[in-house]
Amino acid sequence: MLSMWSWNRILYLMSYPAVTKIHMVWAQNLSFPAVTICNHNLFRMSRLTKMDLYYSGYWLDLLHMNHSVNNNSLQVLRDDRKKMFMDLMDFNHYTPPAHFMVNTTEMMNRLSHQMDEMLLECKFQGGNCTFRNFTPVRKHVL
């Protein structure tokens, strides 16, 4: 008798019976949700300037310390970007500004992808939303 009862309970347990009760309540006002958009392209090559490259090319892993090109970086570039990059990298007649201080925050904000250029359409609670509804948070993981 005990074995039959135990067997019955084992079969019941293995059948995974479940009862789910749902009570839905519609919220009148919702806060705009947190949205995370991760772009693995840290910056736009098209916005890179000669001065950016001169002062930060090593940090961006595009140049060596002596301002010569990092060939590993060249290999991943498309041909049209390669030409632009090679033109930027020609420092033969370039005189960097005297006493210039690199502001990496300003540079990354300028070079990074902008929400107003990425956002195609946004709707929230039946209304349109724009890039102004988003707050950029820059956390670069290298």
In a domain, 130, yes or no: no
Instruction: Write out 19-68 in H/E/C secondary structure.
Output: CCCCCCCCCCCCCCCCCCCCCCCCCCHHHCCHHHHHHHCCCCCCECCCCC
Report the chain's mean pLDDT, rounded to a whole number.
83
| Residue 92: HSE in the Cβ half-sphere, 13 Å Cα cutoff | 3
In a domain, 50, yes or no: yes
| pLDDT, tens digit, 9 for 90 and up, residues 100-121 | 888 888 888 888 888 898 899 9
DSSP state, 69?
A: B
Query: Which residue range(s) make up the domain with 54?
Result: 37-113
Which residue has tokens 């919220």?
27
Q: 55, 60, 56, 84: which is closest to 73 by C-alpha?
A: 60
pLDDT category, 94, cuts 50, 70, 90?
confident
Number of independent structural domains in the chain: 1
Report pLDDT for 141: 52
pTM of the model: 0.58
The span from the CA of 8 to the CA of 5, in Å, is 5
Report pLDDT for 132: 92
Whether 29 has a pLDDT exceeding 80, the answer reads yes
Determine the average pLDDT of the residues in 124-141: 83
CATH number for position 57 = 1.10.3590.10
Determine the average pLDDT of the residues in 31-42: 82
